[in-house]
Amino acid sequence: MLWLRLAGPAAFLAASLIASRLISSKAAVRPYVDAVLIFFAAVLAIRLLDTALRLWYDRRHKPLPIPDLLRDLVLAVLYLVILFFVLKDILQVNIAPILATSAILTMIIGLALQGVLGNLLSGISLHFTKSFSRGDWVGIAGHEGIVLDTNWREMRLLDRQYNVVVVPNTTAAAETITNFSKPEARTGMVFHLKMGYEAPADEVIAILLQAARDCPSVLKEPAPQAYITSYDVFGVSYKLKFWATDFTLKNIIIGDVARLAWYKLRRHGLGIPVSIGDGLKAITGTILKIPATEALGSNETECLRSLFSHLRTGETAGPPLISDAELKLLASLVRKSNFAQGEVLFRQGDPGTTCFVVVRGRIRGEIAYQENEKTYMSEFTVGRGEIFGEMSLFTGMPRTATGVVIEGAELLEIDAASFAVLLERNPALAEAIAEIVSGRNTRNVETLKKIKELSAKDIASGTDKMSVLAHLKRLMRSLTR
């Protein structure tokens, strides 16, 4: 594309050379042919130098030291200087009247084109101050977008709807410009939330922070921040601030964090947000409450039954580990919860006192292990009717995997207290589970040794039947305290 700038002057120069050869030196038009020849030779030389400089900077992936707008203005001035030189020294034209007339014309044109000149000068000012560069994400005059280019009159932005927004240079120079790409790509994003007064502030803040941490697009450092900003008749206002690098996905990232926060708050029995209608009910003393967890249906109960058949996988067939009556008891104790895609159930190395049975959706398990001083990642998927996270509940070992929800999921959560009730009513179950779990861990002992979060003591207790049984009995004893 740069070489096309040379085509015009080169063509005129070639035509002038041909004409110079064909026309006699004594011909009346010869001075004009020479003037054209000299003018386009000078123009071609300037453009060759300009093109060479641009190619030199492009090959080194560096921008030109002067903005395009100023460069074009300098070139135009040089062309005028060459034109006046040719008129005065080659054609012997008195250019004083031309200059005087030009001054008058310049004044008239300047008055008529004040807006155009204002845009031109504003554009030069913006380029000199280097407020932004092509490709930067900026906010200006109520618009956010990527800077496509700038010229003598305007700057053009590509907004999030893929529309081109044209902002006059005078407007840009008068407005406050926010550059989201400088001094670095990392930028802060904010999510606002209003909650009712019945929601514990510390709990709400902890949930918001965890929602930000669970979003893969949010940076771990700087750490997210959450705090109360105000109180009013409709509730308490919270602000969650976090950082990301891809400003193009700003709305999507904020939406992902808000979605994760919604699921977490609902599971904690906290209604969001407080609408005007809720606020009016708060004034009259009628606060909306989140309904209690509904009873399990046949589908959920069947998935819960699969927990114990799953434990039998790979084992010698035998009678059911628990009766239907005990299964109904457990169903009355577990909690059914919905989880959003992308939520982290727990992380490898965390202490664990719960396990999950999948009713709907899928969970990805991620195991980080070390071998030959290198860290590797192994993954597996858990679907409907399968159990996840039971090893920590059954043995007391730290979590051996990280659990991430990869499809919106409905899970049955069995905590230590609920499981202890079942064990206390059925002591034989503890021994059966201890035998199955210790045997499974013994077969996988080489894999367990590669998980750095597990100590030798953890592995030894997890592979020993009596140690697992002792842990389960401690769970039962905890009920009587």
Residues 107, 135, single domain; the answer is: no
User: In which band, very low, low, confident or very high, does the pLDDT at 228 lie, cut at 50, 70 and 90?
Assistant: very high
pLDDT single digits (tens) 393-402 = 889 899 999 9
Residues 260, 222, single domain; the answer is: yes
User: How far is CA 160 from each of CA 81, 119, 164, 177, 201, rounded to the nearest angstrom?
Assistant: 45, 26, 10, 17, 35
Residues 472, 362, single domain; the answer is: yes
Residues 95, 136, single domain; the answer is: no
More confident position, 184 or 289? 184
Is there a domain that residue 406 lies in?
yes
**Whether the model pTM is above 0.85:** no
CATH number of the domain bearing residue 253: 3.30.70.100
Q: Which domain does 63 fall in, by range? A: 4-112
322 in Cβ contact with 429 (< 8 Å) = yes
The whole-angstrom separation of Cα 33 and Cα 31 is 5
Residues 153, 99, single domain; the answer is: no
CATH number of the domain bearing residue 168: 2.30.30.60
Span of 35-39, 60-64, 121-125, 234-238 with lowest mean pLDDT: 121-125
Give the count of domains, the chain. 4
Residues 305, 433, single domain; the answer is: yes
Residues 75, 144, single domain; the answer is: no
Is there a domain that residue 123 lies in?
no
The whole-angstrom separation of Cα 3 and Cα 14 is 16
Residues 232, 170, single domain; the answer is: no
Is there a domain that residue 293 lies in?
no
Extract the tokens encoding 216.
């893969």
Is there a domain that residue 229 lies in?
yes
Q: What is the mean pLDDT of residues 267-273?
A: 75
Residues 388, 417, single domain; the answer is: yes
Q: Average pLDDT of the chain? A: 79
Residue type, 427: P
Is there a domain that residue 90 lies in?
yes
Single out the residue in 248, 283, 318 at which a domain terminates. 283
More confident position, 98 or 192? 192
Extract the tokens encoding 355.
């396990």
Q: What is the mean pLDDT of residues 385-395?
A: 88
Residues 347, 260, single domain; the answer is: no
Q: What is the mean pLDDT of residues 213-235?
A: 91
Most confident stretch, 65-69, 124-128, 169-173, 310-314: 169-173
Is there a domain that residue 338 lies in?
yes
Residue 3: what pLDDT? 58
Single out the residue in 219, 248, 283 at which a domain terminates. 283
Residue 362: what pLDDT? 93
Residues 140, 107, single domain; the answer is: no
Is there a domain that residue 119 lies in?
no
User: In which band, very low, low, confident or very high, does the pLDDT at 43 lie, cut at 50, 70 and 90?
Assistant: confident
Residue 126: what pLDDT? 65
Q: What is the mean pLDDT of residues 405-432?
A: 86
Is there a domain that residue 468 lies in?
yes
Residue 112: what pLDDT? 43
Residues 152, 218, single domain; the answer is: no
pLDDT single digits (tens) 98-120 = 655 655 555 545 544 455 555 56
pLDDT single digits (tens) 301-345 = 777 776 666 565 544 445 666 777 777 888 888 888 899 999 999
Single out the residue in 255, 283, 311 at which a domain terminates. 283
CATH number of the domain bearing residue 369: 2.60.120.10
> Coil, strand or helix: which one is 291?
coil
